[in-house]
Structure 1
């Protein structure tokens, strides 16, 4: 059985997080060149069944996907993508259902177009790599957040075996980002 401890986020923690975010971003910009040069490429594939990576986390999403209305259209990775669309203001929160349908396709095309990508509605390595530019570390190793529009954050973890997981649902349940199953309680 999959289990992950949730980390409650206090108001004090959020304020402290926002304060250090500016300093962290400056440090990240200063070290980005060195990280890119030193980073070994991630070695994930959809056949592994999960969003996964090894070594540095900064390139873990660069070789993931595709997901779309016609390819792997019902799973936890779709829920992750839908949460990114919600965080960036392209999809209503009620649209997160783990199904890559017409509304998710339209929102994906708008998101891609606004970022200068081919707006084909397919979430593949280029789209996920662009989304990954909004990822930052949170409270140390293997905890991350996606910094969406305004103060819309999504929290992720990377397990010791390299699989990524995410917190979602009314109970903030942690589930691995699987291409083969839809296990969040909101997936109906």
Structure 2
């Protein structure tokens, strides 16, 4: 895909999200049960088990989700979504945590995921993380696990591998 094609696709998704986010209002985020460990989630029940730790987190779709949260809030560019929990992501995480009144340790654990989850709202058939600058589309699968929008369709998040288009 050309750079212009990727940019126009991102713009189209963001426009749809912004309209959906405005229509969704300020509804409270819903809690949903997690998957079996192979499908990643952004839910209260699974947060303590899916910690992102500097120096020991393997590349995965869940890392891409966190990097997308950082992008949506304006802490990193979209090009930084790589599925690798690298030093630049750790540094941006520390700033994000500090700005959200959390311990700036660079570890994305229950408190950090929980703070981010407070900004997930329904938007029609989807859920949206309402970032400070961008909306991030999410969807619940039949089992209540979150999926992310990737390359024109929703895909489950893997906690054990990097399978999203941006990460291959």
Q: TM-score, normalised by structure 1?
A: 0.70
* Secondary structure in structure 2 of the residue aligned to 1:99: coil
Determine if contact 1:65/1:124 at 8 Å carries over to the other structure.
Answer: yes
Check if 1:160 corresponds to 2:142: yes
Determine if contact 1:52/1:60 at 8 Å carries over to the other structure.
Answer: no
Check if 1:129 corresponds to 2:114: yes
Cα distance in structure 1, aligned partners of 2:13 and 2:167: 25
Q: Which one of 59, 66, 81 corresponds to residue 81 of structure 1?
A: 66
Match of 2:23 in 1: 20
Match of 2:37 in 1: 48
Match of 1:5 in 2: none
**C-alpha spacing 1:14/1:73, structure 2 compared with 1 (3 Å):** closer
Cα distance in structure 2, aligned partners of 1:116 and 1:16: 29
**C-alpha spacing 1:109/1:186, structure 2 compared with 1 (3 Å):** same
Cα distance in structure 1, aligned partners of 2:106 and 2:78: 19
**C-alpha spacing 1:10/1:127, structure 2 compared with 1 (3 Å):** closer
Structural mapping, 1:106-185, within 5 Å: 106-140=91-125, 143-150=126-133, 152-168=134-150, 171-185=151-165
Give the Å deviation of 1:105: 0.4
Q: Considering only aligned residues, what root-mean-square deviation do their CA atoms show, in Å? A: 2.9
Task: Judging by fraction of residues, say which structure has more strand.
Answer: 2
Match of 2:87 in 1: 102
| Cα deviation digits, residues 112-144 of structure 1 (max 9, x gap) | 01011011111111100000111001114xx20
Count of residue pairs brought into register by the alignment: 157
* Secondary structure in structure 2 of the residue aligned to 1:145: strand
Point out where structure 2 has 5 or more consecutive residues left out of the alignment.
Answer: 1-11
Q: TM-score, normalised by structure 2?
A: 0.78
Q: Which has the higher contact order (CA 8 A, sep 6+)?
A: 2
Point out where structure 1 has 5 or more consecutive residues left out of the alignment.
Answer: 1-7
**C-alpha spacing 1:111/1:79, structure 2 compared with 1 (3 Å):** same
Cα distance in structure 1, aligned partners of 2:164 and 2:119: 23
